[in-house]
Amino acid sequence: MTQTRLEPGDAAPDFTLPDSEGEATSLESFRGKRVILYFYPAAMTPGCTKQACDFRDSLASLTAAGFVVLGVSKDNPQKLAKFAERDALTFPLLSDPELAVHQAYGAYGEKTMYGRTTVGVLRSTFVIDADGKVEKALYNVKATGHVARLRKDLGLA
């Protein structure tokens, strides 16, 4: 199974996905802003909750620095709405049940867990510049401590 891997300088694949309210959200609508796009395996699981809450807790400073945060998972909009409500998540959570956007970004494929190779969502984060180009492509990130590392990499720590 070959996987797409994006590199800095690549054009970020455009997409339109429903958010937790079922409203269409497209990457193109954020041109002129820097976007932090992160892919996570499943809403309301411990690691994904930790990561989402870290983004929530950093949102004010990220927004002040000109960033928009978008989270993407294969969960349906109803589950995303529950996740957002339960954890007071105030940034868009997008639903990609067909995994097309995951695959376009290389955020779905083979991974090793507990010594076994499986196929699934690769926890990944992309920083996309105001012109729609990839600034950073981070694959297989850890849920815990990732946002702090990302803030440091972006000069916001």
Residues with a known catalytic role: 48
Q: Could you tell me the strand order of the sheet in which 34-39 lies?
A: 93-95, 67-73, 34-39, 124-128, 134-138
Instruction: Provide the β-strand partners of residue 121.
Output: 108
Place of tokens 């190779």: 117
Phi first, then psi: give them for residue 122, nearest 5 degrees: -100, 115
